[in-house]
Amino acid sequence: MTEMYEHIDESTLDGMRTLVTEEAVEGKTVLLNMGPQHPSTHGVLRLLLELDGEYVVNCVPDIGFLHTGVEKNMEAKTYTKAEVMTDRLDYLNTVGNNLAYCLAVEKLVDLDVPPRAQAIRVILTELQRIASHLVWLGTHALDLAAMSVFLYCFREREMILDILEMCGGQRMMTTYFRPGGLWRDVPVEFEGAVRNFIKIFPARIQEYEDLLTNNPLFVERTKHIGVLKPEDAIRWGVTGPPLRASGVKHDLRKVRPYSGYEQYDFDIPTQSDGDTYARYLVRIEEMRQSLRIIEQALNKLPYGPVRSNNRKYVPPPRSEIGTSMEALIHHFKLWTEGFPAPKGSVYVAVESPRGELGVYLEGDGGPKPYRVHWRTPSFVNLQVLPLLAKGHLVADLVALIGTVDIVLGDVDR
Amino acid sequence: MSELLDQAIKTIQSRFQAEVSTFRDEITLWVTAQQIVDACRTLRDEFEFDMLEDETAVDYWPEESPRFHVVYQLYSYPRNERISLRVPLDGNSPSIPSIVPIFPNANWHEREIWDLFGIRFENHPDLRRILMPHDWEGHPLRKDYPLGYEEVMFTFNFDEIDQRKPYAKRYPERQDKAP
């Protein structure tokens, strides 16, 4: 099975000819290696930089340091068990990954989800979006030497992680959403905790804004840095906040609603400048819009079951197993063998904090997915980094890596 | 189904003799490897499918022809429509023209497919492995590639495991340890 494949020998300048410009080979520009172990690459991203003085002539991302073979592993597990791996992709948006995967499985086997489960999914996904944006804001500000913002952001993120722990028992890797609904209903303290968060958080967003929005140091480092034109954004498949900061009003929650997003009233924040500052403003406003969605969903949270009644796909509740033979058989079959999914493929996309998170799921009639492919927003958005970085200072590159908001677990899968 | 989508399907169908299949309201057009570039260009220029959402592949081993399917998801911003293209490929040295000239973001997707499936993309500007190490042998997402594991290295078995690594096979004369 060994075949010839291209490989770039980075030990000589001549070997790197296809990566860098002719000036680098002649020695007129400098080549600099950044990462994979570098705090401002937000993980294990490696960049090969070609510099003219302090200006970036070219930047070549090198990824794969965190490749864990999730797609291959998922093929060896049943639909239910494979879900555990979805948390580990984008580890700042764990419930969002669960949601994408569950929606794909539900579409593949044609499974219904009760309205209460859908509303709770929306609440938790939006909370997670805020948590993810908080990590982004903290680290982005930290890259630009604003230490205090990082501490404030993690203070509020902790409140969200507490809510997730309350529901799923885990702070990050919850696997709380299951195909057909949720693992269990939310506890009684849930509503109070979320309401408390909604009450506190708007003032906290204001606090971050006071620290950054009109801060001359921050504005200087972000305005007119890494301008992404809308046509480039579309051509390169960029989605999420970078796309909206370039003036394209596109949000999958609005244009292709899933999980009942069509019931909620919210705006899609856009900016027209397409620079790092515009992307900052879009994400800040997105946190406010998420709060609006959470509040609406909480106010009309319906009562009822949180998992589908379709016993062929969803295990029966514990209480039934003791009294019903049929429930026992279903329980046994679902946990030993799993449920079969029909032959066919579906593509489901949701709006993650980073952009469009797509799942391509193919079934072959058996209990294990035949093929799972993750179209991850970080992977696609990272491709545009060389375009953004061209002609900027090395110091600004650090801001640009932050503004694309990549998670390396999401890039490398 | 909107009128635009209907027209797009009819055009592709008549121009490329493409088959159409539908599963769970998702429309798939089946075209051949020689037609994929023209089909993508037609969809982009005439029907406003201006974004490549996703490109991936599926392996149907032990079937030999066709063994692979390359799957494209195209999206239209102005019309909010999604369409899927599927290209069957032979198992014997699979290769397909690259669509990077039409959708530049196909670059990494195609490198990933080459890396994990070993499907060659003709006229690709930079076809290298992207996720696996450059000295990796084989293409892991193929169905005939076993699901392996990485042995955990401790001091007592470090040398033994180190000898089995691909780099040890490639440079047997080298005495120094892993880079």
- Integer Cα distance of A287 and A192 in angstroms: 20
- Nearest-CA neighbor of A3 among B170, B120, B87? B120
Q: Which of B53, B58, B84 sits opposite A371 (nearest CB)?
A: B58
ipTM: 0.87
Give me the residue from A3, A356, A379 closest to B53, CB to CB. Answer: A356
Taking the C-alpha atoms of residue A283 and residue A269, their distance in angstroms, rounded to an integer, is 8
Confidence at residue A238, expressed as pLDDT on a 0 to 100 scale: 92
Please determine, for residue A172, whether its predicted confidence score (pLDDT) is greater than 60: yes
Query: In chain B, whose CA is at the least distance from the CA of A45?
Result: B131
Residues 120 through 179 of chain B touching chain A, CB cutoff 8 Å? 126-135, 137-142, 144-145, 147
Q: Is residue A358 part of a domain?
A: yes
Residues of B in contact with A69 (CB under 8 A): 140
Assess whether A45 and A85 both reside in one domain. Answer: no
**DSSP secondary-structure letter at A314?**
S
Residues B167 and B174: their CA atoms lie apart, in Å, by 10
Among positive and negative, which fits the CA dihedral A401, A402, A404, A409? positive
What are phi and psi for residue A200, nearest 5 degrees?
-80, -35
A221, part of any domain: yes
d(C-alpha B60, C-alpha B144), whole Å: 10
CB pairs under 8 A between A and B: 108
Cβ-defined contact of B54 to A108 (cutoff 8 Å): no
The nearest CA of chain B is from the CA of A64 a distance in Å of: 4
Q: What three-state secondary structure class fits A60?
A: strand
- Per the domain annotation, does B27 fall within a domain? yes
pLDDT of amino acid A157: 92
CATH number at residue A369: 1.10.645.10
Is residue B170 pLDDT above 80, yes or no? no
pLDDT for position A2? 36
How does A98-126 read in b/e, with b if 16+ C-beta sit within 10 Å? Answer: bbbbbbbbbbbbebebbbbbbbbbbbbbb
Query: 3-state class of B73 per DSSP?
Result: strand
CB atoms within 10 A of CB B34: 12
A158 and A19 fall within a common domain? no
Task: Give percent of chain A with pLDDT exceeding 70.
Answer: 97
Do A10 and A52 belong to one domain? yes
Put simply, whether B108 touches A (Cβ < 8 Å) is yes
Which of A69, A73, A373 faces B56 most closely, judged by CB atoms? A373
Decide which of A313 and A23 is more confident.
A313
pLDDT over 50 (residue A231): yes
Q: pLDDT digits over A345-389, tens only?
A: 999 999 999 999 999 999 998 899 999 999 999 999 999 999 888
**B21 within domain boundaries:** yes
Nearest CA in chain B to A105: B24
Cβ-in-10-Å burial (0-12, 13-18, 19+) of A365 comes to exposed
**How many whole angstroms from its chain centre is CA B89?**
11
The answer on A166 and A48 residing in a single domain is no
Mean local confidence (pLDDT), A213-231: 88
In the numeric block, the tokens 């007592």 are attached to: B156
The reply to whether A74 and A159 lie within a common domain is yes
Q: CA A318 to CA A337: how far, in whole Å?
A: 18
How far apart are alpha carbons A200 and A180 in whole angstroms? 33
Q: How many other C-beta atoms can be found within 10 angstroms of the C-beta atom of residue A39?
A: 11
Q: What is the pLDDT of residue A225?
A: 87
**B122 assigned to some structural domain:** yes
What residue has token string 């879009």?
A: A282
B26 domain-assigned: yes
Statement to judge: residues A208 and A227 lie in one domain:
yes
Q: What is the pTM of this model?
A: 0.89
- Name the average pLDDT for chain A: 88
CB spacing of B133 vs A64 below 8 angstroms: yes
Domain span holding position A108: 70-375
Q: In terms of domains, do A44 and A75 share one?
A: no
Task: Give a yes or no: residue B179 inside a domain.
Answer: no
A72 contacts B140? CB cut-off 8 A: yes
What's residue A7's pLDDT?
Answer: 66
The tokens describing A11, both together, are: 């030990």
What's the pLDDT tens digit per position in B80-124? 888 999 999 988 888 899 999 999 999 999 999 998 998 989 888
Instruction: Identify the band that residue A90 occupies on the pLDDT scale cut at 50, 70 and 90.
Output: confident
Domain count, chain A: 2
Q: What CATH number is attached to the domain comprising B121?
A: 3.30.460.80
Yes or no: say if A351 and A249 are a contact pair by the CB < 8 Å rule: no
pLDDT of residue B171: 67
* Domain-located, residue A299: yes
Q: Which of A278-282, A298-302, B157-161 has the lowest mean pLDDT?
A: B157-161
d(CA A317, CA A214): 54
Q: Are residues A115 and A173 in the same domain?
A: yes
Going by C-alpha positions, the residue among A380, A405, A382, A389 that lies closest to residue A225 is: A389
More confident of the two residues A335 and A24: A335
Find the distance separating the first CA and the last CA of chain A, reported in whole Å.
Answer: 24
Encoded tokens for B97: 């023209």
Of the pLDDT bands very low, low, confident and very high (cuts 50, 70, 90), residue B172 is low
Domain encompassing residue B20 = 3-164
Q: Is A75 found in the same domain as A57? A: no
Q: Report the pLDDT value the prediction gives residue A3, as an integer from 0 to 100.
A: 41
**Each residue of A131-162: pLDDT tens digit?**
999 999 999 888 887 888 899 999 999 999 99
Virtual CA dihedral for B2, B3, B8, B14, nearest 10 degrees? 130
Query: CA Rg, chain B, in Å?
Result: 21
pLDDT greater than 70 at residue B75:
yes
- Chain A residues near residue B141 by CB distance under 8 angstroms: 71-72
- Contact between A305 and A116 (Cβ < 8 Å): yes
User: What pLDDT, in 10s, does the model give residues A31-85?
Assistant: 888 878 877 777 888 888 888 888 988 888 888 888 988 999 999 899 999 999 8
What is the predicted pLDDT for the residue at B175? 55
Domain presence at residue A293: yes
In whole angstroms, what is the distance from residue B51 CA to residue A252 CA?
A: 14
Q: Report the C-alpha gap between B23 and B40 in whole angstroms.
A: 21
- Taking the C-alpha atoms of residue A66 and residue B167, their distance in angstroms, rounded to an integer, is 19
List residues bridging with B87 in a β-sheet. Answer: B70
Tell me, yes or no, whether A387 lies in a domain. no
Domain presence at residue B173: no
Number of domains in chain B: 1
Query: Could you give the percent of chain A with pLDDT greater than 90?
Result: 42
Interface test with B, best of A105, A370, A373 (most B CBs within 10 A): A373
CA B112 to chain centre: 6
pLDDT digits (tens, 9 = 90+) for A5-14: 566 667 777 7
